[in-house]
């Protein structure tokens, strides 16, 4: 499987693969042609982070790929401006000043 995924563009992919009746889903991380192909697998809610980046070799027993989806991963967290937001203009009464001649 590693030879095939090396041809993919560098990105993150959700993979649905199997061997006989055993199906498995994991996140595939392709970083480039010379970088090792890595996976996120083994979710554990009690750990921080809940998934570890591991080599694809761990899942070499998977022979059939049913689906491969490229996903958009945000890099870093959202950056918000700390500037105060402008309040909308309140309706103001226009006072007419009459001048005496």
Mean of per-residue pLDDT scores for the chain: 77
SS3 29: strand
Q: Does residue 83 register a pLDDT over 80?
A: no
User: What's the pLDDT score for residue 69?
Assistant: 92
**Looking at residues 95-99, what average pLDDT do you find?**
49
pTM: 0.62
Q: Does residue 90 register a pLDDT over 70?
A: no
Report in angstroms the alpha-carbon separations of 16 from 34, 71, 87. 24, 13, 49
pLDDT bin (cut points 50, 70, 90) of residue 88 is low
């Amino acid at each position: 499987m590693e030879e095939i995924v090396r041809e993919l563009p560098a990105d993150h992919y959700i993979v649905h693969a199997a061997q006989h009746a055993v199906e498995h889903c994991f996140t595939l991380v392709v970083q480039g042609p010379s970088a090792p192909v890595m996976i996120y697998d083994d979710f554990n809610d009690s750990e921080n982070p809940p998934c570890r980046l591991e080599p694809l070799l761990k899942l070499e027993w998977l022979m059939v790929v049913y689906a491969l989806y490229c996903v958009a991963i945000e890099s870093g967290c959202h950056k918000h401006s700390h500037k105060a937001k402008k309040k909308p203009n309140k309706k103001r009464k226009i006072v007419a000043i009459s001048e005496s001649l």
